């Protein structure tokens, strides 16, 4: 089953979800801003993405610029920061079994089907 870590305010996230729906591909949606991921869930997802926590940070977000830009932050600290501030998580993340991708552009979602 494909899992979509979705932010409804994001055009890329909406685009990926619309592609899945249009093609009739079964999927589940996790509205991660309303149901934030735990540190453990993020850790498992990062392994599937093949990324470090710092690589998942949206550096254009106001919270990043106000609190973290230019500061020295460890990967473990980023993990907790992402769990505490889900708006900083790059999106959309598409997970299928042992693999995950960031679907930018949204058409990348089709790589997971």
Could you tell me if 98 and 86 are in contact, meaning their C-beta atoms sit under 8 angstroms apart? no
Exactly one of 2, 10, 25, 29 is catalytic; which is it? 10
Query: Catalytic annotation on 10?
Result: yes
Q: How far apart are CA 113 and CA 109, in angstroms?
A: 7
Residue 91: phi and psi, rounded to 5, are: -145, 165
Positions marked active-site:
10
């Amino acid at each position: 089953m494909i899992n979509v870590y979705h932010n409804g305010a994001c055009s890329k996230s909406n685009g990926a979800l619309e592609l899945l729906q249009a093609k009739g591909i079964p999927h589940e949606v996790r509205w991660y801003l309303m149901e934030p991921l735990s540190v453990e869930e993020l850790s498992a997802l990062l392994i599937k993405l093949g990324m470090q926590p710092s690589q998942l940070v949206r550096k254009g977000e106001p919270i990043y610029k106000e609190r973290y830009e230019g500061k020295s932050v460890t990967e473990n600290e980023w993990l907790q920061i992402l769990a505490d501030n889900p708006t900083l998580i790059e999106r959309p993340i598409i997970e299928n079994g042992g693999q995950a991708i960031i679907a930018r552009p949204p058409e990348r979602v089709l790589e997971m089907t």
